[in-house]
A and B are shown apart, each in its own frame.
Chain A
Amino acid sequence: MASSESATVPADRKRPRSVGRFLRSQMRNIAPFLTLICLTGFFAAASPSFATLDNFGNILTQVSVTGIIAVGLTFVILCAEIDLSIASIANVTGIAVAYFTLQESYVNIANVPMPGWAAVMLALALCALLGVVNAFGLTVIGIPSFIMTLAMMQIAAGISALLVRGQIAYKVPDVITTLGSGSIGGIPCIVIVAALMLLAGHLVLTYTRFGRYVYMVGGNREAAEYSGLNVKLILGSVMVIAAVCSGIGGMLGVAHFGSAQQNEFDTYLLDSIAAVVVGGTSLFGGRGGIGNTIVGLFVLGVLNNGLDHVNIDSFLKILIRGLILLAALVINVYAQRLRERSVD
C-alpha cells in the first residue's frame, strides 16, 4: 500500500520523507557511532593524556580479549539467542592450556605436561566440546539458551576450579605467549589476532551462505524453518562458534595477563554482551553484525579507559558503566520500534 503510493509521488516530493525514513531505519547504526564520538570528544576535552597515540594503542590492547570473545557472541545474538557461559569457557580454556604445559617447580598443580601444540589442541577441543554441550541442550533437549548457558557457566567454572585447585599457573605454550603478549613492529599480537578474528567473523556473516542463514534464522525463525533451513543445525553451530571464540580469547588472555587462575575472566561476560548490544546488534536477532560490535567495543574501551584518565571516584565508575549500558539497551529496543514503524 505504502509503496504504490510513494511510487506515484514525484521524486522531489518524496525525498524528505524517505531521508527521514532512512535515518530512522538506520538509528541502530547511527546511535552507537554518535555515542562513541561524544564519549571521545568528552574525554579528549577532559584529560590531556587521553587523546594520544599511545593511549589509542592502550585502548586497542584493552579491548582485544573482549573483541575476540565478542566475535562468537555476535553470531549468537544475531540468532536471537544468548550465551552466558562465554567468560567461564574462556577461563577454563586458558586454565586448560596452562594445565597441559610444564610449570615451574614452585607451582603446586598436579598437571599433565605436553608439547605446546598438543596443549593448544586439547584446550581448543575442550572449549569446542563445551560448545557442543550448549548446542545439544539448546537444540536437541530444547532448553532455552539463557538457562542452558547459565548451567554451562557453572560447569566450566567447576572444571576450572578442579584443574587449578586455588593455585595460579604461569606458563603457557610459546605460541600462545607470543600471540598473547608479543608484538610485531610495535603492534601487539593480541590486537592483530582480534582484528583478524573480527574480520573473519565479518566475512563469514556477510559473504557466506552460513552467514546469510544466521541472519535469516534471527530475522524470522519460523519462516527460516518453513523455507527448509536446518534451524537447529545453525543454532547449534553458533553456540560452538561462540565457545571456540571464547576459548581462543581465554588462552590469549592468560598469556596477556601472565597467569591462569580461577575467576580471572568474570568481567568479560558483561563486557562482551555490552559490546555487542551497545554496538547496535538487535537483541531480537537478525539485525546488526561485526561492524556494530567493533563500534560497541570502542565505546566500551573509550569509556573504561577514559574514566581512568579523569579524576572520578573509582567506585562511581562502576555505576556510570551500568548507566551507559542501560542507555544503550534503551536505544537498542527503541531503534527496533522506530524501524518497525518506518516499515509500516
Chain B
Amino acid sequence: MPTVETHAISSELIREVAFELNRRAAIGIPKDVGDSIADMAERETQKLSKFVLLEIVNNYKVAVDEQRPMCADTGLPRFYAKIGNDAALEGGFVALERSVRQGTADATERVPLRPNRVHPITRHDYNNNVGIHAPTVDYSWEPDVDWIELTSFHKGGLFGGDYRMLFPTDGIDGIKRFFLDVISEFFKRGLSCQPAIVGIGIGGTKDTCVRLAKEAACLRVVGDRNPDPQIAKLEEELNDLGKRTSLGPMGFKGEGAVMDTHIEVAYTHTGGMPISIHHQCFALRRATARIHPDGQVEYRENPLWFTDYYRRDGVA
C-alpha cells in the first residue's frame, strides 16, 4: 500500500550516508565473516594455515581498535541501491548518483581509502576513486515501501573471478569441475586472498551470470541458503567440496578455505548453461543503510539484497 504522505529523501543526507558506509565498510569486519574466520582458526590443525588465520583475526581487531582500514587495497568501491517503489528522491536519481560519487571522493580523502581507480589506458588517477563508470551503482526495486537502501562494497580487483559457457550436457559435474578449476586457479599461492565466500551465478546471459556471481559472493551473509531447496542442496555440496580441496589460507595445506558458497540462478537460453564464479576475500568490506523519508538512517551488516521480489518468477 502506498504511503499517505511522501517526503523526498535529501541528497545531502545520501552524501553523508555514502561517506559513512565507505568508512564502516573499510574498517569493521561484519560479524558473520569475523565469526567464520575465528571458527576456522580454532579448527585448523596445520601450523602455517593456523598462523595465517590467527593473524587475520588479529588484523580485524587492530583495524577496529586503531580505526585503520583492514586492508589497504580498497579494491573498487561500488554501491548497490535498493529503491522503494514509493520512495521520492530530492533531485531524483541523478542527484543520488552525484551524492554517492561525492561520498566516495570524501571517504577516499578522509578515511583514507587507497585511490585505486585509474583510466584503463592512460592509467590516470584522480586520487579519489571516482571516474568513468566509477563507482558503479547497481539498482534493484522493492514494492510497497518508501525507503531506499544503500550498500557500499569494496571489491578486490584482480583475481578470483571466471566465466565459462557450459551446456546442459555438462550438467552438475560440469558445475563441480568449474568450481574446482576456479579454486585451482586462484587459491594456489593465495591469489584470491582466501578464506573466501564463493559466489556462483548460473544461467541468464554472460553478463547476468557474472553480475549474479558477484552479488552472491558479496551481498549474502555466511550461513545464508538459497530459498530453493534444490539450489540450497547444491550450495552445501559445493561448499563441502571446497573444504576438501586442502587449499587453505594463502594456499598452504589446511582445511579448504571456503567460508561459504552461494548460488544465484537466472532463466537462460534453452541450449546453454553459462556460469560465473567470484571469490570474495576475507577482508570483506560491506555496510548497508536504510534511509527513511523522515531522515532516519538505520545502519546494518546484512544487505538483504536478494528479496523475494528480486528473485521473482513468473509474469507478475
Q: A and B, one complex?
A: no
